[in-house]
């Protein structure tokens, strides 16, 4: 990834791992996967793992 893109990335644009997303929302991994399956939180597959944009998690948190 381009170093300038990383430096210009805002906190809301950061991609979080499943573990980080669970900690951010204070929910279990199972609950997070249920929210992804029900399309309440968009998750992006990267290989075998999911990544979540912080902005998507904030949007879910505000609307929940």
Domain-located, residue 59? yes
pLDDT by residue (tens digit) across 14-28? 999 999 999 999 999
Domain count, the chain: 1
* Domain region containing 28: 10-63
Q: Is the pLDDT of residue 5 over 70?
A: no
Confidence band of 10 (pLDDT split at 50, 70, 90): low
Which residue matches tokens 């300038």?
4
Cβ contacts of 55 within 8 Å, gap of 6 or more:
12, 13
pTM of the model: 0.77
Domain-located, residue 35? yes
Domain-located, residue 2? no
Contact assessment for residue 15 and residue 55, using Cβ atoms and an 8 Å cutoff: no
Domain-located, residue 27? yes
Domain-located, residue 5? no
Mean pLDDT rounded to a whole number for the chain: 86
Confidence band of 12 (pLDDT split at 50, 70, 90): low
CA 41 – CA 47 distance, rounded (Å): 19
CA 33 – CA 61 distance, rounded (Å): 15
Domain-located, residue 3? no
CATH code of the domain containing 21? 1.10.10
Domain-located, residue 40? yes
């Amino acid at each position: 990834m381009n170093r300038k893109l990383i430096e210009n990335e805002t906190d809301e644009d950061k991609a979080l791992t499943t573990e980080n997303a669970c900690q951010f929302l204070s929910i279990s991994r199972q609950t997070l996967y249920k929210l992804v399956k029900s399309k309440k939180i968009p998750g992006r597959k990267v290989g075998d793992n999911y990544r979540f944009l912080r902005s998507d998690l904030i949007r879910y948190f505000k609307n929940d």
